[in-house]
């Protein structure tokens, strides 16, 4: 599709020309048109690359569609309502420099526009455009202090039981194979499979034992079907629904006494609905589990407290979406990587919770010239014996002192070939024989005490000591405010519930959510400053 002609000049028939007196200087739609619209127009050269220069009928203006996406996440409007507002609402017309009688857009254009953004790897374009505008306005410093936390996003799926998920996956695979394999090539069991999983519905109110037997039967049928598929051409074997069946089979069944038996416990990260396999199931803690995704949210941290009545001056700097089973440490790496790719420097200080803090991460931050601030996790206690915090360890000197005051007799360097991880094992050998603390430290069976620590153990020990100070407690108050930002993103902009299916589309939704939050905060701050100046 080719692009229509575009001009940054406001039309004589635009709402801004005909009815500007309806919008006070602090009106959010007017401020949107003055602050945000110019940024979107500056991004048009990049948006142009998503379209053919002179081929096909003119497309809808991408700058307007980008603005509609922002406004709909500001107002939490679905596609159809957003296009109705663009047609009927004077505020939306004023914000996007639309003529009073501008032609209406079909709601499906928003779907095509989002797909085009993802197809051309421009999903972050709107978010980055707003963040660059905030940086240019002096509201986001190049090396601002930041805070980071994660939260869960629910996928657009129904939570299925193991039996439902397996049977539905079998149905999808059978329907795919029916269109790819001639009737004459199908196995003798095909008719029973088709009747059992495509034409029939199971009564899930049956007794529990009956349902477990049905799951075991589905496992046997899935194995037989996959075994037959392996004899077919590769083009059939790699059909998405067929490979999905193989994945579901591996997750839901195990070999017991020469038979396939349904697992009695869910695997973390397993597929819970074949219609959205990327929405993974995860459990976190004792009472929290969900099917969907995880999102990392970073924002600037206050240099000084705001005045009474003053809007926040903190802005979201990253909204990165992960699979539900991804770790927070990996999320930290992704946030820093995308910020660097967008031209933003490492934060001077990054405030996090304990899930992000490890000796390796603190050492990497120290080497790169920034500080990772968060509580260190306590060492693992096996129930008996002193934990590593009670030992004085000097890795550099290859020496350690136990709680009884005895120096180690031996130090060994351990290196894992696969991961490259380096650790050190300290031993006390003969010094433990007659030690008064032997039972308390070593236990009954071991002959002597040994201690294994990482190569950056000194950083962990220093942080654990720092955590006992009131100064560190005060620093962690800066991190706590990220909880309020996540609450705002969830309650005001719908971060918790995915609108679309698939990791890439949910990531686009979250980028637009973060951009909308930044725009809202920017407009509120601008309006407040104007009111203060006028007072």
Helix (H) or strand (E) holding 274: none
> What DSSP letter does each residue of 47-98 carry, written as one string?
HHTTS-SS-SSBPPPHHHHHHHHHHHHHHT--HHHHHHHHHH-HHHHHHTT-
Q: How many CA atoms lie within 13 A of 472 on its CB side?
A: 15
HEC sequence for 510-527: HHHHHHHHHHHHHHHHHH
Within 133-240, strands assigned E span 146-154
pLDDT of 447 reads 79
Q: CA 476 to CA 479: how far, in whole Å?
A: 5
> In this structure, what token pair is assigned to residue 519?
């725009």
Q: CA 331 to CA 356: how far, in whole Å?
A: 9
pLDDT of 51 reads 86
| DSSP 3-state of 410 | strand
pLDDT single digits (tens) 29-40 = 999 999 999 999
pLDDT single digits (tens) 355-372 = 999 999 999 999 999 999
The one-character DSSP state at 370 is: -
pLDDT of 144 reads 86
Q: pTM to 2 decimals?
A: 0.89
Q: Could you tell me which of 37, 71, 38, 514 has the C-alpha nearest to residue 315?
A: 514
Please give the average per-residue pLDDT across 190-214, as a whole number.
89
Q: Could you tell me which of 249, 255, 351 has the C-alpha nearest to residue 300?
A: 351
| pLDDT surpasses 90 at 260 | no
pLDDT single digits (tens) 398-434 = 999 988 888 988 999 998 888 788 899 999 887 888 8
305 confidence band (pLDDT: 50, 70, 90): confident
Average pLDDT, rounded, for the chain: 89
Q: CA 481 to CA 353: how far, in whole Å?
A: 12
Our measurement of the distance from residue 148's CA atom to the centroid of its chain's CA atoms, rounded to an integer in Å, reads 12
> In this structure, what token pair is assigned to residue 352?
């996090």
> In this structure, what token pair is assigned to residue 49?
């690359």
Contact 279, 273 (CB under 8 A): yes
Please give the average per-residue pLDDT across 74-100, as a whole number.
92
Q: CA 359 to CA 329: how far, in whole Å?
A: 12
- What's the distance, Cα to Cα, between the start and end of the chain in Å? 51
CB count within 10 Å of CB 256 equals 11
> In this structure, what token pair is assigned to residue 134?
């905030």
Contact 219, 260 (CB under 8 A): yes
Please give the average per-residue pLDDT across 41-53, as a whole number.
89
Place of tokens 């719908």: 494
Please give the average per-residue pLDDT across 320-333, as a whole number.
94
Q: CA 486 to CA 472: how far, in whole Å?
A: 23
Q: How many CA atoms lie within 13 A of 311 on its CB side?
A: 18
> In this structure, what token pair is assigned to residue 99?
């003529």
Find the range with the poorest average confidence among 41-50, 94-103, 486-495. Answer: 94-103
7 confidence band (pLDDT: 50, 70, 90): low
Distances (CA, A) of 38 to 11, 25, 127, 457: 15, 17, 14, 51
1 confidence band (pLDDT: 50, 70, 90): low
Place of tokens 């990497």: 364
pLDDT of 243 reads 95
Contact 486, 495 (CB under 8 A): yes
């Amino acid at each position: 599709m080719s692009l229509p002609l575009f001009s940054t000049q406001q039309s004589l028939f635009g709402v801004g020309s005909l009815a500007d007196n309806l919008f006070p200087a602090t009106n959010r739609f007017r401020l949107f048109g003055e602050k945000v619209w110019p940024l979107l127009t500056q991004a048009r050269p990049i948006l142009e690359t998503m379209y053919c220069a002179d081929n096909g009928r003119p497309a809808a203006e991408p700058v307007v569609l980008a603005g509609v996406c922002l406004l709909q996440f500001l107002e939490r409007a679905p596609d159809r309502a957003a296009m109705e507002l663009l047609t009927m609402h004077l505020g939306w017309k004023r914000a996007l420099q639309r003529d009073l009688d501008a032609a209406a857009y079909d709601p499906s254009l928003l779907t095509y526009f989002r797909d085009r953004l993802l197809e051309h790897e421009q999903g972050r374009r709107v978010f980055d455009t707003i963040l660059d505008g905030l940086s240019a306005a002096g509201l986001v410093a190049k090396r601002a202090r930041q805070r980071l936390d994660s939260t869960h996003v629910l996928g657009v799926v129904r939570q299925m039981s193991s039996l439902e998920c397996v049977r539905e996956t079998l149905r999808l695979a059978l329907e795919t194979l029916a269109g790819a394999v001639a009737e004459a090539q199908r196995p003798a069991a095909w008719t029973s499979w088709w009747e059992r999983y495509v034409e029939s519905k199971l009564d899930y109110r049956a007794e529990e034992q009956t349902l477990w037997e049905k799951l075991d039967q589905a496992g046997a049928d899935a194995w037989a079907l996959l075994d037959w598929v392996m004899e077919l051409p590769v083009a059939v074997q790699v059909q998405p629904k067929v490979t999905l069946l193989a994945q579901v089979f591996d997750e839901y069944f195990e070999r017991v006494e020469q038979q396939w038996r349904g697992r009695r416990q869910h695997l973390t990260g397993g597929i819970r609905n074949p219609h959205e396999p990327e929405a993974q199931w995860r459990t976190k803690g004792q009472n929290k589990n969900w099917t969907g995704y995880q999102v990392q949210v970073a924002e600037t941290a206050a240099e000084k407290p705001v005045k009474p009545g003053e809007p926040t001056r903190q802005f979201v700097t990253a909204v990165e979406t992960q699979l539900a089973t991804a770790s927070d440490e990996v999320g930290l790496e992704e946030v820093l990587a995308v910020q660097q790719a967008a031209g933003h420097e490492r934060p001077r200080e990054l405030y996090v919770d304990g899930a992000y803090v490890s000796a390796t991460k603190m050492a990497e931050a120290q080497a790169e010239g920034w500080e990772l601030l968060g509580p260190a996790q306590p060492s693992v206690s096996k129930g008996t014996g002193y934990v590593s915090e009670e030992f004085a360890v000097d890795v550099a000197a290859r020496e350690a002192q136990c709680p009884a005051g005895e120096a180690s007799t031996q130090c060994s360097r351990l290196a894992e070939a696969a991961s490259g991880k380096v650790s050190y094992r300290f031993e006390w050998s003969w010094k433990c024989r007659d030690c008064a603390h032997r039972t308390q430290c070593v236990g009954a069976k071991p002959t002597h005490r040994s201690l294994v620590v990482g190569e950056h153990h000194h950083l962990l020990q220093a942080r654990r000591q720092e955590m006992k100070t009131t100064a560190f407690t005060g620093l962690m108050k800066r991190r706590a405010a990220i909880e309020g930002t996540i609450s705002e993103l969830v309650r005001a902009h719908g971060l918790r519930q995915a609108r679309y299916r698939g990791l890439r589309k949910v990531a686009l939704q979250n980028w637009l959510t973060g951009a909308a939050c930044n725009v809202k905060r920017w407009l509120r701050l601008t309006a407040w400053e104007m009111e203060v100046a006028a007072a």
